Structures are given as C-alpha cells and as structure tokens.
C-alpha cells in the first residue's frame, strides 16, 4: 500500500470480497536523507515512502478494518535500485528504476514477507493482468483493460513463481472506475493525484539527485565530460558529462547548426556523445540482455511479436530470435519491420503477442 | 478475528492502566475539575489531589515532595533535565545506549556548541564507570546515564556513577523510565540530581510523568508561562494524569516492599528458558548483566525481527523489535549495535516485556507461538536454507 488511490482501492475491494487482507507498506527510501544537499529541496512531501503517504495508507487500513504494517527495505532498495540507477547514468545509459524495484523489492522481498507472515498472495495496485494458461502450463502477464495505465512494461521481469502468487485486481478496470470505487468505499484519498515521477528523485531532477547522492557517499560526480562528435566521427564540440544526455534528446547540446541535432548514441567508454540529424535516430535492430521470458519457457525459433522500447510507446511489429553474445550470455535480437526512433540503452524492450507479454530484456 | 485471544508482552512500550489507577483518576474527569492554581474551593480540591500525588511519587523515589516536578512524560523529563541545565560551552557525558529523548537532546546541545562524550557499552550492554571517569573534563557539567535500558532491561551501575558525579562535582541525571515501578529507585542511594520517570511505563496513563530535581538544582524551564511547579514547568497541571501517576507510584511501592518483583522475574525467566530450550541459534542480549525483572531481549539468528513481529501480531501476540518509531518502520537498534551485535543479529532480536497484568497463561501462550513462528521464518529465509543444505 503506497498511500495512493490504486493500492488503497485494491485493499478495500479485497476486504469487501471477504478476503483476509493485511496491509503492508514498503519503506524504501528516506525522503529526508538528501534534503538540504546542494540543489535538493529542504523538505519533500507527498511522495512514495514519505510520512504523508504512510499516514494515508494507515488511515485507509484503519478505515476498512485491516491490520497494517510498514516493512523497512531501505538497504535492499539502495543496493538493488538506487546504486544501479546511478551506475547506469554514469555509463551513458538511461535506467528504469521502477522495473528494478518490481523485480528486486515488490515481487521479491514483499513476497518473502508475505510468505513469512502466512499470506498466500500479494495484491498490488498495478494495472496489469495475471492469468494461468492450463494449455501451456504457464502464468501469463497480460495488458490491462485501461491501456493508458498499462504497467506491464515495468513488470516483464516477473518469474513464474512470482506471478503465481501475485494478484492485480485493477487489471480489468479503468482509472476513473477505480476512483469511483474508491469513493464508493468512502476512501478519503479518492481524489489524490497520481504520482508520476521516480519516487526517490524529488521533482524528477535526476541530475541533482546524482550530485547529492554521490556527495553524500563521500564522492563526487566523476568527470564524464568529453567530445561531441557527429555520426561521421567529426568532433564538433564538448559536452559537460554523459549523464546529462539521453538518446533522442535535442535540447541542451550547446552547438548551433543549420539543421536540428539529436543525441544518437552515448559512448560510455570514450565519454563521447554522438549527434546527428533526425534520420540517424532510426534503427531497425536492437539486442536485449538479461532476458526474462513469461509466456514461453524458451525461444526455440524466431517469433513475430510487437515490441515496446519505452513505457510510452506503441508496440512495433518485429521478429525476435535468440542469439549468443560475445560473453556466451543468451541475448535476444529484435528486428523491427519499420525503423524505430531513439532506441535507448538501459531501457527495456518488452515483447507482446497481442495483449500477452511474451517476455522482455534490457536494451544493450 | 475479533474473538482471537490476544496477549500483550510489550510493556516497555506502554502498560495498561491498572483498574485501581483508573478508579483513582475517575473523579477528576468530571465532578472534581478545578484548575489547581485557582483560589476557590474547586481549585483547592485539585491542588490537594496534585500534592497528594506528589507525596506518593516522592515516597517511591525517596525524595522530598518539593523535589518532584510533574511533566508530560519521560521525554519531557529528559529534555528538561538536560536542556534546562546545560549551557553553551559545557561538556556532557552520556552513553551510546540512551533513549532518543536523551540522545537527541544531546545532539541539540552539540548544535548549540556543547561537547558531548558518548561512552560505549560492553557486550552485555553495560557502561564502564571507568570510561566515565576518563571522559571527565574541567568543563564537564552533566552526566546523563540511564538506569535501565528500554530494549534490553540492563541495569546500569548508577550508584557508582553517582559517586563519580559527587566526587567530581558534576550533575548526574538518570533516565529511570524503565526502572521505576520495576526495581527500587532511591535517589539518595543513586546519588543523582535529576531523575526522570514516565507514568505509562508503570501502569499510569500516557501523558503524565515526573522529574526529580534535587533541592538547589537550578533549571531553565522549557516552557514560558505561569509559575506552575515552582516555576520549573509552566502550564496547567494534568490533574487526572498526575493523580493516576501518584496512585501507580503507591501501588508500585506496595509491591516492591515485599519483593513482588521476584515473581515477575520468575515469569520472565520461565518465558526466556522456554524459548531457549525449544529454539537453537538463539540467545539473550544482555545475558550476564543485571536486568529489570520484566524484560528479556532475545536474538533468533536467520530471521527478520520485523517479520516476526508482524507474524506474531497476526496470531495475537504483541512483542517488539526494539524502540517503536514514528513511521512504524524499524531500523536496527542503536542499543544492540552499540553492544557489538552485527546488523543481522540486531535485526533478528525481539524484546519481550511483561507487565503486572501478565499471567503464567500469557507466558504459555507465547511459548506455544514463538518456536513454531521462528522455525517457519527460518525455513523461508534464503540465508538459513543455504546454510542448512550445505551442512
């Protein structure tokens, strides 16, 4: 229970259906920890893990009459989500902390806690559906009824074991229906706005977060400044650090040319930011690492699927096939029918067969 | 769910108000309501009740009634004692295992330009008086060392510390919140100048406490207002709470005189032994040190204390992992870490604390639940499973 509308409504729904419901909030990050560091706000409010949200969740639990507990997983969150987030940016990739949190915290640690306290399943307010397919003998992850709220992109990493003990009660509902249900259950937070940003990055300014976090760790942002080069290798300027860039970015390049320039590629090893025209942003292939397959146990032959390369992206038609990488790890090669714009290393590529999530991996 | 049997073994967090205490307080919510500072009959009635309660608290602590200042509880008493006495430039000696009411008061002083030395504890959770001797400086103004620790129940050598304070001519404050009502608390024997107690840790209501202030000790008050409590604590007296504290002090003294705390210790030992007999890789934190009779703090290796608290609460047994925190989430206890426990063991530690209401049946209830819960948590712990498989 995050203290938001979705998870609160889930708790109220399940309770009304007669389930034995236990409310849990994961305390993952101390929002006051970096307060006061250079560039960080003095105080923060209304974000995940803030005292306000814990207060809201507790009030809901009390209102619907369920026991409620806060479990502290700050150490694990820092190790498995925050540090990789920082590392990825400093290597020129654009990370998705929410997926890491789902894989390592919400559907791992939380499931362990659930088992320990004698609960059969964990229910969350994610917009997605889980179904068992007796034909293939696998748990399927499917897109929700409300496509605008679809969170399957962040959930592709769930294992069969995790899916088998997960319930997504909002999978068949739209957000307005959820708010309406929240009102019906008399939840005071029915009108609470949705949270959009990364929960531990106040104001969404990840650059300031990197600075403050590294300063707190007794380090400083390593110097990742370097050259700005064109796709043909011509050096046309300098940049102030690769973590300031993301593929597809147009603003803030610091060079003036006749036609618009975009970040095409970030070369972490050489600290180079490669820029070029819009046409250079398009590519037909990508490779994914650390693949998790959901609907099938193995990819024995090439498969036609739709592939999402970022959260707000309509699945694009593609062929996926297993390949062996240089280090022997299994990778999946994605070949799109049409070139795709701004394929960004560090983001996920998630494969869909209609509404079913086939699997996904991290863009190399 | 509602008809489930529940047993409460978290009396170091708060205790139920005893029925006799409720009875003593009852008139002061209704018919007897005057402001104890008023001149008229109504004021005289409540003034008399407050002063009777002051006499009772004074008897419990073996001090004069005029040396008792009523407060809102332990935190206020600790704050008043420390912030009321120490000024910029002074040096303070405290310990690494104090309650946050003391630790954060000391932190505040540090921000104001005072220096604070936090003496360590040994593996049993005991402060070494020699560490205090060594930490003394010409600028040392105050020693603040707790009498009994809230998490382990370990009793500190306060009488020896009192002698150090007297020899060195420094003030001595002791937080006796977890000692009062459980063991004899005699300010003369301890030799302290300031001693805080809290009502709700000794079967009086929450929101009432007292600070013993030795005659002649000048304190800067925390609040500005009227001249209540001899100008040491402004604000209209919490009469029902004070009356409750007085009654609880009387009852505590009546029980301590014939040595009833030995029964409490026997019950605690039964619980502790029962647990240790049935569970391996477990032990008592603070073993070998003198402890208050109601507390035992036990580590169960390879479990998460947090999950244990939740699992047991869902089965009707209330215990805790240490000090309750405002958000409800818990960090590894600074007390257990100061005793040298590795983080994992500190987080695998559970505090059981008894109250006067607890019975042998309550202990049996706990003994029926704790071993099976520990084994279940261990079976589900990845670390424990690995170890079991490899051995």
In a domain, A220, yes or no: no
**Contact A71/B326, CB-based, under 8 Å?**
no
- Cα–Cα distances in angstroms (integers) from residue B19 to residues B26, B179, B208, B248, B249, in the given order: 10, 21, 17, 10, 14
A8's tokens = 């609160």
Judge if A182 and A300 occupy the same domain.
Answer: no
Residue B324 has pLDDT above 80, yes or no: no
**Contact A54/B328, CB-based, under 8 Å?**
yes
**Contact A116/B313, CB-based, under 8 Å?**
no
Judge if B208 and B90 occupy the same domain.
Answer: yes
B385: Cβ–Cβ under 8 A, 6 or more apart, which residues?
B379
Judge if B357 and B309 occupy the same domain.
Answer: yes
Query: What does the alpha-carbon distance between residue A198 and residue A206 come to, in Å, rounded to a whole number?
Result: 9
CA distance to partner chain A, nearest, from residue B201 (Å): 24
pLDDT at site A219: 78
Judge if B245 and B288 occupy the same domain.
Answer: no
Judge if B190 and B146 occupy the same domain.
Answer: yes
**Contact A117/B331, CB-based, under 8 Å?**
no
Residue B288 has pLDDT above 60, yes or no: yes
In a domain, B288, yes or no: yes
Arithmetic mean of pLDDT, A240-246: 88
Arithmetic mean of pLDDT, A131-148: 96
Residue A24 has pLDDT above 70, yes or no: yes
pLDDT at site A42: 61
B-chain CB neighbours of A112 within 8 Å are: 380, 382
E-only strand ranges, A48-202: 68-72, 122-123, 129-133, 138-142, 166-167
pLDDT at site A140: 98
Closest chain B residue by Cα to residue A112: B380
SS (H, E, C) chain B: CCCCCCEECECCCCCCCCHHHHHHHHHHHCCCCCCCCCCCHHHHHHHHHHHHHHHHHHHHHCCCHHHEEEECCHHHHHHHHHHCCCCCCCEEEEECCCCHHHHHHHHHHHHCCCEEEEECECCCCCECHHHHHHHCCCCEEEEECCCECCCCCEECCHHHHHHHHHHHCCEEEEECCCCECCECCCHHHHCCCEEEEEHHHCCCCCCCEEEEECCCCCCCCCCCCCCHHHHCCCCCCCHHHHHHHHHHHHHHHHHHCCCCHHHHHHHHHHHHHHHHHHCCCEEECCCCCCECCCEEEEEECCCCHHHHHHHHHHCCEECECCCCCCCCCCCCCHHHHHCCCCHHHHHCEEEEECCCCCCHHHHHHHHHHHHHHHHHHHHCCHHHHHHHHHC
Confidence of residue B118 (pLDDT cuts 50, 70, 90): very high
pLDDT digits (tens, 9 = 90+) for B217-237: 999 999 999 999 999 999 999
Arithmetic mean of pLDDT, B38-65: 97
CATH number at residue A306: 2.40.30.10
Residue B323 has pLDDT above 70, yes or no: no
In a domain, A185, yes or no: yes
Residue A171 per-residue DSSP state: G
Tell me how long chain B is. Answer: 391
CATH number at residue A246: 2.30.30
pLDDT digits (tens, 9 = 90+) for A87-130: 999 988 989 998 999 988 999 989 999 999 999 999 999 999 99
- Cα–Cα distances in angstroms (integers) from residue B249 to residues A20, A121, B73, B259, in the given order: 43, 49, 14, 15
Which of B310, B326, B327 is the closest to A117 by Cβ? B310
Residue A329 has pLDDT above 80, yes or no: no
Largest Cα–Cα separation, chain B = 79
CA distance to partner chain A, nearest, from residue B330 (Å): 6
Confidence of residue A46 (pLDDT cuts 50, 70, 90): very low
Judge if A189 and A91 occupy the same domain.
Answer: yes
B-chain CB neighbours of A54 within 8 Å are: 327-329
Contact A107, A123 (CB under 8 A): no
Judge if B87 and B119 occupy the same domain.
Answer: yes
Q: Which of A117, A120, A122, A161 has the highest number of chain B CBs within 10 A, making it the mutation to test binding with B?
A: A117
Judge if B270 and B315 occupy the same domain.
Answer: yes
Judge if B148 and B180 occupy the same domain.
Answer: yes
Arithmetic mean of pLDDT, A345-363: 96
Q: List active site positions of B.
A: 325
- Cα–Cα distances in angstroms (integers) from residue A103 to residues A80, A96, A272, A299, in the given order: 9, 11, 31, 21
Confidence of residue A326 (pLDDT cuts 50, 70, 90): confident
Query: What does the alpha-carbon distance between residue B62 and residue A10 come to, in Å, rounded to a whole number?
Result: 57
Domain termination site, one of B256, B274, B294: B256
Query: What does the alpha-carbon distance between residue B354 and residue B12 come to, in Å, rounded to a whole number?
Result: 8
Residue A203 has pLDDT above 90, yes or no: no
Domain termination site, one of B256, B277, B297: B256
- Cα–Cα distances in angstroms (integers) from residue A88 to residues A169, A175, B124, B250, in the given order: 33, 32, 45, 65
Which of B328, B331, B376 is the closest to A69 by Cβ? B328
Query: What does the alpha-carbon distance between residue B211 and residue B174 come to, in Å, rounded to a whole number?
Result: 10
Arithmetic mean of pLDDT, B24-47: 96
Q: List active site positions of A.
A: 101, 199
Contact B246, B57 (CB under 8 A): yes
Residue A158 has pLDDT above 50, yes or no: yes
In a domain, B1, yes or no: no
Domain termination site, one of B240, B256, B272: B256
**Contact B314/A113, CB-based, under 8 Å?**
no
Query: What does the alpha-carbon distance between residue B310 and residue B318 come to, in Å, rounded to a whole number?
Result: 9
Kind plus residue range of the DSSP H or E element containing A178: helix A175-184
Residue B181 has pLDDT above 90, yes or no: yes
- Count of CB atoms within 10 A of residue A68's CB? 21
Mean pLDDT computed over every residue of chain B: 94
Confidence of residue B327 (pLDDT cuts 50, 70, 90): very low
- What burial letters (b/e) apply to A277-291, b meaning 16+ CB within 10 Å? eeebbeeeebbbeeb
- Cα–Cα distances in angstroms (integers) from residue A106 to residues A6, A32, B34, B360, B367, in the given order: 15, 22, 55, 41, 33
pLDDT digits (tens, 9 = 90+) for A276-292: 999 999 999 999 999 99
Q: In chain B, which residues touch A (CB < 8 A)?
A: 1, 304, 306-307, 309-311, 313-314, 326-331, 376-377, 380, 382
**Contact B313/A54, CB-based, under 8 Å?**
no
A211: Cβ–Cβ under 8 A, 6 or more apart, which residues?
A37, A38, A39, A221
Arithmetic mean of pLDDT, A171-183: 97
First to last CA, chain A: 33
Nearest C-alpha neighbor of B211 from the set B165, B180, B251, B257: B180
In a domain, B2, yes or no: no
Confidence of residue B206 (pLDDT cuts 50, 70, 90): very high
pTM attached to this predicted model: 0.89
Confidence of residue B331 (pLDDT cuts 50, 70, 90): low
Judge if A176 and A246 occupy the same domain.
Answer: no
pLDDT at site B385: 62
Residue B20 has pLDDT above 80, yes or no: yes
B-chain CB neighbours of A67 within 8 Å are: 313-314
Judged on CB neighbours under 10 Å (0-12, 13-18, 19+), B65 is middle
A-chain CB neighbours of B380 within 8 Å are: 112, 115-116
Judge if A76 and A120 occupy the same domain.
Answer: yes
B-chain CB neighbours of A69 within 8 Å are: 309-310, 313, 328
pLDDT at site B389: 55
- Count of CB atoms within 10 A of residue B314's CB? 18
pLDDT at site A254: 73
Judge if A234 and A299 occupy the same domain.
Answer: no
Residue B326 has pLDDT above 50, yes or no: no
Query: What does the alpha-carbon distance between residue B333 and residue A87 come to, in Å, rounded to a whole number?
Result: 31
A142's tokens = 């499917």
CA distance to partner chain A, nearest, from residue B1 (Å): 9
Judge if B162 and B292 occupy the same domain.
Answer: no
Interhelix angle A175-184/A5-16, nearest 10 degrees: 60
Query: What does the alpha-carbon distance between residue B264 and residue B292 come to, in Å, rounded to a whole number?
Result: 9
Q: Where in the sequence is the domain holding A237, given as residue range(s)?
A: 226-276
- Cα–Cα distances in angstroms (integers) from residue B115 to residues B76, B92, B338, in the given order: 21, 6, 20
B-chain CB neighbours of A71 within 8 Å are: 306-307, 310, 329
Task: Report the domain count for chain A.
Answer: 3
Q: Could you give the ipTM of this predicted complex?
A: 0.85
**Contact A51/B328, CB-based, under 8 Å?**
no
Judge if A251 and A329 occupy the same domain.
Answer: no
In a domain, A151, yes or no: no
- Pick the range with the lowest mean pLDDT from A318-322, B19-23, B306-310: B306-310
Task: Report the domain count for chain B.
Answer: 2
CATH number at residue A16: 3.40.50.620
Residue A131 has pLDDT above 50, yes or no: yes
Contact A329, A266 (CB under 8 A): no
Residue A53 has pLDDT above 60, yes or no: yes
A45's tokens = 């409010």
Query: What does the alpha-carbon distance between residue B14 and residue A165 come to, in Å, rounded to a whole number?
Result: 37
**Contact B314/A54, CB-based, under 8 Å?**
no
Q: Where in the sequence is the domain holding B384, given as residue range(s)?
A: 7-16+259-390
Query: What does the alpha-carbon distance between residue A78 and residue A194 come to, in Å, rounded to a whole number?
Result: 24
In a domain, A131, yes or no: no
Judged on CB neighbours under 10 Å (0-12, 13-18, 19+), B60 is buried
First to last CA, chain B: 40
Contact B298, B283 (CB under 8 A): yes
CATH number at residue B45: 3.40.640.10
Contact B91, B115 (CB under 8 A): yes
Residue A28 has pLDDT above 60, yes or no: yes
In a domain, B159, yes or no: yes
CATH number at residue B273: 3.90.1150.10
pLDDT at site B2: 56
A-chain CB neighbours of B374 within 8 Å are: none
């Amino acid at each position: 229970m995050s203290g938001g509308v979705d998870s609160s409504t889930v708790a109220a729904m399940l309770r009304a259906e007669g389930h034995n419901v236990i409310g849990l909030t994961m305390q993952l990050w101390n929002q006051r920890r970096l307060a006061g560091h250079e560039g960080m706000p003095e105080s923060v409010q209304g974000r995940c893990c803030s005292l306000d949200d814990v207060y809201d969740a507790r009030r809901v639990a009390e209102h619907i009459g369920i026991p409620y507990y806060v479990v502290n997983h700050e150490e694990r969150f820092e190790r498995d989500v925050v540090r990789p987030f920082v590392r990825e940016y400093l290597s020129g990739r654009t990370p998705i902390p929410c997926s890491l949190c789902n894989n390592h915290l919400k559907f791992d640690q939380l499931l362990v806690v659930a088992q320990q306290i004698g609960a059969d399943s964990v229910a969350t307010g994610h917009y997605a559906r889980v179904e068992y397919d007796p034909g293939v003998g696998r748990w399927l992850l499917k897109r929700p009824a409300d496509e605008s709220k679809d969170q399957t992109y962040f959930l592709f990493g769930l294992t069969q074991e995790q899916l088998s003990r997960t319930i997504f009660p909002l999978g068949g509902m739209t957000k307005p229906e959820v708010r309406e249900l929240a009102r019906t259950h008399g939840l005071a937070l029915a009108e609470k706005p949705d949270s959009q940003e990364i929960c531990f990055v106040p104001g969404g300014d990840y650059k300031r977060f990197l600075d403050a976090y590294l300063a707190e760790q007794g380090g400083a942002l390593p110097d990742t400044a370097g050259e700005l080069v064109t796709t043909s290798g011509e050096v046309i300027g300098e940049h102030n650090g690769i973590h300031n860039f993301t593929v597809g970015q147009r603003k803030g390049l610091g060079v003036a040319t006749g036609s618009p320039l975009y970040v095409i590629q970030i070369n972490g090893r050489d600290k180079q930011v490669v820029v070029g025209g819009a046409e250079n942003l398009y590519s037909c292939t990508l490779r994914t690492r650390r693949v998790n397959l959901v609907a099938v146990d193995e990819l024995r032959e090439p498969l036609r699927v739709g592939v999402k390369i970022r959260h707000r992206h309509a699945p694009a038609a593609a062929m996926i096939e297993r390949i062996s990488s240089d280090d022997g790890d299994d990778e999946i090669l994605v070949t799109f029918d049409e070139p795709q714009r701004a394929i960004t290393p560090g983001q996920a590529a998630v494969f869909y067969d209609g509404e079913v999530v086939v699997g996904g991996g991290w863009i190399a | 769910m509602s008809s489930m049997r529940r047993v409460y073994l978290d009396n170091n967090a708060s205790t139920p108000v005893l029925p006799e205490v409720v009875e003593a307080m009852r008139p002061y919510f209704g018919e007897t309501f005057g402001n104890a500072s008023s001149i008229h009959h109504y004021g005289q009635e409540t003034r008399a009740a407050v002063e009777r309660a002051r006499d009772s608290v004074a008897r419990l602590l073996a001090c004069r009634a005029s040396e008792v200042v009523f407060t809102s509880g332990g935190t206020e008493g600790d704050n008043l004692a420390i912030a009321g006495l120490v000024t910029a430039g002074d040096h303070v000696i405290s310990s690494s295992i104090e309650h946050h009411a003391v630790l954060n008061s000391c932190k505040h002083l540090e921000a104001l330009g005072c220096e604070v030395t936090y003496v360590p504890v040994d593996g049993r959770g005991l402060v070494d008086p020699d560490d205090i001797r060594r930490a003394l400086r010409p600028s040392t103004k105050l020693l603040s060392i707790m009498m009994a620790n809230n998490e382990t129940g370990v009793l500190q050598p306060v009488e020896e510390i009192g002698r150090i304070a007297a020899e060195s001519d420094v003030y001595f404050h002791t937080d006796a919140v977890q000692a009062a009502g459980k063991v004899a608390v005699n300010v003369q024997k301890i030799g302290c100048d300031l001693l805080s107690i809290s009502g709700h840790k000794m079967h009086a209501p929450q929101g009432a406490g007292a600070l013993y202030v030795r005659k002649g000790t000048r304190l800067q008050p925390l609040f500005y207002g009227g001249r209540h409590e001899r100008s040491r604590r402004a604000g209209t007296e919490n009469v029902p709470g004070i009356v409750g504290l007085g009654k609880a002090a009387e009852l505590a003294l009546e029980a301590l005189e014939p040595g009833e705390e030995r029964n409490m210790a026997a019950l605690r030992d039964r619980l502790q032994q029962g647990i240790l007999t049935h569970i391996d890789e477990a032990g008592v934190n603070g073993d070998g040190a003198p402890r208050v009779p109601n507390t035992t703090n036990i580590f169960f290796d390879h479990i998460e204390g947090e999950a244990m608290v939740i699992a047991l609460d869902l089965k009707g047994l209330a215990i805790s992992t240490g000090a309750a925190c405002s958000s409800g989430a818990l960090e590894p206890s600074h007390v257990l870490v100061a005793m040298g426990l590795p983080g994992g063991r500190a987080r695998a530690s559970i505090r059981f604390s008894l109250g006067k209401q607890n019975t042998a049946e309550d202990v049996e209830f706990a003994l029926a639940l704790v071993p099976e819960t520990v084994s279940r948590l261990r079976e589900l712990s990845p670390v424990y499973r690995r170890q079991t498989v490899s051995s």
